[in-house]
Amino acid sequence: MRLIIDDYGTYIHKKGNRLIISNHAHEKEFSADIVSQILIYKGAAITSAAIALAVEKGIDIVFFDTMGKPFARTYSCKSENTASIHRNQVKAYESQKGISFMRSIIEAKIRNQSFLLKILGKDRNNEKLRDSAEKILLLVSKLKCSKPADESRQKLMGIEGEAAKQYFSALEYVLPEETYSGVRTRQPPGDLFNALLSYGYGVLFTEAEKACILSGLDPYMGFLHADRTGKPSMVLDLMEEWRQPIVDRSIITLISKKVVQKSNIRPEGSGYYLDNFAKHKVVGSIIMRLSNMTTHKNFRHSFSSLVLQQARGVVKFIGGEIENYSPFIYGW
């Protein structure tokens, strides 16, 4: 069970083995044995005793800012076997393993973008969407790289950028004009779709970061995304194969079914920001999607368990236990 704490003035404390959630309207109790994660948004408080209970029970606590971006989390200081994994990350970075991993996750992302457009085109009987899906898929053939890691990284990021440009342009055929400008905009988001998308990616970020920590990967030692002080590049790498199947699909559904509308954003400066209703709907939708079951390699898994499984696959790959990293490709 995930607890979402997004009401201003909410106070979290403990009583025995229970977490108590109280605010001006009500008080609820949850056994710590059934809680897996607590998502805390701005305006809420938690006691150190409640944090200690959460750490003891392996409950992940994540803190978000008003934009839905995670800025802190708590987890146990105890860790095992991470040093050897971190050394393997460093070794793989400049080797063919690193290049192979980068190529794999970008191919997965492009295929997932193509598949989502294909499904949307089929559902809407839209030939332009189906054509865009095929056009994006052609970029996969350009992903072969034999140059050193840094040169390969630049080439792969260029291909990923071209695919993203085509993908977000094609979504203009899906979303109403008043909700989407036809381009991806961030910091600040320029319309409803971009605001929802950025908020949803914040939830996905917490899942990928948790997978890094539990699998032993260093969240700040990635392969594809540039190393920069404070930038969790490995987390961003892990997110790539999950953006379309978990977040994009959920956000498109929220807009298509008019669950969230233009009235749920407010202009501020040069951007648009979600109201509390929209934020709650985004978080709820992504969490539900993470709990949904899908078939992968002939077995049924929740998307949440698959994110962790893929992180552990990276550990096995860079450690030489398996020959190739097999990314998650949805629907193929």
Q: Which CATH number covers residue 51?
A: 3.100.10.20
Tokens coding 55: 């750490």
| Residue 332 confidence class, pLDDT cut points 50, 70, 90 | low
* Pairing mode, strands 45-46 and 299-302: unpaired
pLDDT score of 270:
85
Same domain as 111, residue 68? no
pLDDT at 81 over 90: no
User: For the chain, what is the mean pLDDT?
Assistant: 91
pLDDT score of 79:
58
pLDDT score of 43:
81
Flag whether 164 is in a domain.
yes
Flag whether 199 is in a domain.
yes
Tokens coding 293: 């079951």
Q: Which residues pair with 62 in a beta bridge?
A: 39, 73
Quick: pLDDT tens for 84-134.
Answer: 999 999 999 988 899 999 999 999 999 999 999 999 999 999 999 999 999
Q: For residues 204-228, give the mean pLDDT.
A: 89
pLDDT score of 12:
93
Looking at the structure of the chain, the number of domains it has is 2
Same domain as 94, residue 70? no
Flag whether 328 is in a domain.
no
Flag whether 145 is in a domain.
yes
Give CA–CA dist 194/186, Å, rounded.
Answer: 7
Q: State the Rg of the chain over Cα.
A: 20
Flag whether 161 is in a domain.
yes
Range of the domain at 279: 83-318
Domain end marker among 74, 104, 133: 74
Same domain as 96, residue 70? no
pLDDT score of 192:
96
Q: For residues 289-295, give the mean pLDDT.
A: 92
Same domain as 206, residue 92? yes
Query: 226: which DSSP letter?
Result: P
Flag whether 324 is in a domain.
no
pLDDT at 206 over 60: yes
Record the pTM.
0.85
